[in-house]
Structure 1
Amino acid sequence: MSGHLTDRQLLIERRAREWVVQYGEAPSVRELAAAVGVSSPSSIAYQLRRMRERGGAVETRGRRPSGRCPHCGQ
């Protein structure tokens, strides 16, 4: 897959792998954006979609639970 990626996508892929090695789990899109040095998680989400269209995928996880009660918000 790496042969068809842009420089930005290669950086995203590398940072995602480093994150998994360091933390033992896939990063969220927001965490991946911070690791790459991008202020907008939506630009990372766009790049991930483009990577999937080309047959590859970088694992990300959804949002973490906030710890708040889903019923009362406290």
Structure 2
Amino acid sequence: MNRRPEQREEEILRCIRRWIEDKGEGPSVRQLAKAIGMRSTASVAYHPANLERSGALIRDGRGWNTCRLGH
């Protein structure tokens, strides 16, 4: 099922929010891909990068597991 990028980013943001609440840090790209049912890590990484540009996510390091929620 193809989703609009906005829908996929909302799904990814919800998943990251839950992951941070449960584990205290964000998921890696592979963990995020598995959690939302996508196989391509490149496609998954595209969406958090957009969320980071919009300010919804902030990374404290290089990996997405260092992310925290923005505004």
Do the structures match in fold with TM over 0.5? Answer: yes
Q: How many residues align?
A: 58
Give 1:31's aligned residue: 31
Q: Deviations over 1:33-56 (max 9, x none)?
A: 111111111111111122223332
State which drifts further: 53-62 or 36-45: 53-62
Q: TM-score, normalised by structure 2?
A: 0.66
Q: Deviations over 1:4-59 (max 9, x none)?
A: x7110000000011111222221111101111111111111111122223332265
| Uncovered stretches (5+) of structure 1, i.e. residues with no partner | 63-74
Larger Rg: 1
Which structure shows the bigger proportion of residues in strand conformation? Answer: 2
The two structures, once aligned, show a CA RMSD in angstroms of: 2.1
| Uncovered stretches (5+) of structure 2, i.e. residues with no partner | 67-71
Identity of aligned residues (%): 34
